[in-house]
Structure 1
Amino acid sequence: MPMAPPPDLSSLSLSDIVQAMAAQTLPPVSQWHPTHCGDSEMRIARDGTWYHQGSPIGRPAMVRLFSSILRREQDGRHVLVTPVEKLDIAVEDAPFVATALKAEGDGTDARLVFQLNTGDLVAAGPDHALRIEQGADAPRPYLHVRDGLEALLARPVYYELAERALAEDHEPPGVWSDGVFFPLIAPDPA
């Protein structure tokens, strides 16, 4: 069954986004427990590009399909899982990249919806937290996607969040989404 192309986030209203998110269904990978079969010879680069045997996977529908069977194990490894096999996949940073942001409302009434490089839509909130990690050269912002899987926010998306945080003038700087406040500073390493 072919996968539908991802929606254009900029053209969707909030009610359209809510409908699209409700329609997103994923295989029940948390219920599948096959025997580990080896290495998939696949890698997800820091920029979100998927590779197989060193070559980029050029078909977006194939990447969306593989991303739907991606799971993070309790030991932190990433695997591709089906009912009959489980294969390791190397992930350089986060398996997804948030490439677009749609924001509606202000303050505690705000809702922030992110589009991932796979086309999936994720609304930041109680089940999808935003967090900042201090990287060697700059902050690294992440969004929880599902079951321990995260998306790295692309730099332009992070800048949009920073602009919202500065406009709302909170201390510490941060943003609201679905009734949750997310500070946009890395926690103190102490």
Structure 2
Amino acid sequence: MPETNCPPLSLAGQSLAEIAAAIEERGAPPVDQWNPEHCGDSDMRIARDGTWYHQGSPIRRKAMTRLFSTVLRREEDGSHVLVTPVEKLSIEVERTAFRAIAMTSEGEGEERTLAFELDSGDLVIAGPDHPLSIRQCEDGPSPRLAVRHGLEAELDRPVYYELAELALEHNPPGVWSNGQFFTFAS
């Protein structure tokens, strides 16, 4: 059965203007406005590699994980919840809620804009509302992109290397996107 409710978006073959239009058209539920009482635990987990699990078993239907990802939010205390207007359930997130699996770049220097494709089927344009950062973790640097509602995407290694190559063009190392400079110097 084809997926019609929330089909995945892709960077492939799209200009930045088309990417921005697709993001605008998709929209997102207003989970930041929903504040029901906490109802319990979802028995769900998002593993470090981006795999979603329910009661210990991987969720194999991508359409299902895409649907869940639309009602995911990070709380002020750092915990994650799945939230609807009437229900709020805890979900364990091992590292970040999303993975950035592809990147495209348009423009040069201060005019550059970077767009990222997430494993959830969403697209995000890095900029003031979606900053790039590097978090130092026990196992080394973790390159991240702010997505929405406190959620982040960790960049997959090939995407990180592609970004690092662009960052090394500047001193200090960093990249421009959507009018914002993100420095990666420590």
Q: CA RMSD in A?
A: 1.3
CA contact (8 A) 2:10 2:123 kept: no
Alignment partner, residue 15 of structure 1: 17
Structure 1 position 28, deviation (Å): 1.1
Residue 80 of structure 1 corresponds to which residue in structure 2? Answer: 82
Measure, in 1, the Cα distance between the counterparts of 2:86 and 2:119. 27
* Match among 126, 143, 160 for residue 158 of structure 1: 160
**What amino acid is the match of 1:174?**
G
Whichever residue aligns with residue 173 of structure 2, its letter is P
Match runs of 1:40-119 below 5 Å: 40-119=42-121
Equivalent residue number for residue 30 of structure 1: 32
* 3-state SS of paired residue (1:9): coil
Q: Tell me how far 1:139 sits from its aligned partner.
A: 1.5
Q: In 1, distance between residues paired with 2:76 and 2:4?
A: 31
CA distance in 2: counterparts of 1:99 and 1:184, whole angstroms: 20
TM-score normalised by L of structure 1: 0.92
Which 5+ residue runs of structure 1 have no aligned equivalent? none
Contact 2:103 2:114 in 1 (8 A): yes
> In 2 relative to 1, CA 135–76 (structure 1 residues): closer, same or farther, beyond 3 Å?
closer
Q: Per-residue CA shift, 1:128-156, capped at 9, x if unaligned? A: 00000123343210000012111001110
Unaligned runs of 5+ in 2: none
How far residue 8 of structure 1 moved from its aligned partner, in angstroms, is: 2.9
Q: Which 10-residue stretch deviates more, 16-25 or 149-158?
A: 16-25
Aligned to 1:145: 147
CA distance in 2: counterparts of 1:64 and 1:132, whole angstroms? 26
- The alpha-carbon deviation at position 76 of structure 1 amounts to 1.1
Alignment match, 1:181? 181
Number of matched pairs: 184
CA distance in 1, matches of 2:124, 2:163: 15
Q: Deviations over 1:93-148 (max 9, x none)?
A: 11011000010111100000001001111111001000001233432100000121
Structure 1 residue ranges, 4+ long, deviating more than 4 angstroms after superposition: none
Identity %: 62
